[in-house]
Amino acid sequence: MRILVAIDGSKYGEVAIQQIIAQCRPQDTEVRVLHVTEPVPLFTNVQGIGYAPQFEEIRAEQVKLGREVVERAALTLREAGYRVTTAVEEGFPKVVILDHASQWHADLIMLGSHGRKGLDHFLIGSVSEAVARHASCSVQIARSASN
């Protein structure tokens, strides 16, 4: 089985990792740990559209933090006996997760849910909900006890 686990560095990603360990046999499972960094916003100035003042520094820091997040998760999974690869990509999480799962031929996408409701859900949206609706493979949404 090939499992793509998308994590964002929050406790919800850790819940997803723990569910993989609890539910899947390591000898039959290959896991890809994916972290998606969102694009650094553009700004408008007098000359037109440009980059945020420290664009490259911000972007490099996001990638560095993303690598740290996936390596911590990969270490946990490797210690539990799983074959693990990692990826850090830039883009909009909903799109990148779906594209990555398709290109990697995932059998299952596992991701955590922040459990947003009401106005937060409306304004921010739900990555897990969008992935569940549009994925071409099975999707499992891990929830913590506090959700």
Q: For the segment 93-142, what is each residue's pLDDT rounded down to a tens digit?
A: 999 999 999 999 999 999 987 554 444 444 345 788 889 999 999 999 98
pTM: 0.84
Q: Label residue 115 left, alpha or beta by phi (over 0 means left) and psi (-120 to 50 means alpha).
A: left
User: pLDDT: is 38 or 78 the higher one?
Assistant: 78
Helix 93-104, helix 127-134: angle, nearest 10: 40
Burial class (CB in 10 A: 0-12, 13-18, 19+), 128: buried
Q: What is the pLDDT of residues 1-58, one digit of tens each?
A: 999 999 998 888 999 999 999 999 999 899 999 999 988 665 555 555 555 566 778 8
Structural domains of the chain, with CATH: 2-142 (3.40.50.620)
Given pLDDT bands bounded at 50, 70 and 90, which one contains residue 92? Answer: very high
What is the rounded CA–CA span in Å between residue 81 and residue 97? 24
Give the mean pLDDT of 66-85. Answer: 97
Give the mean pLDDT of 70-90. Answer: 97
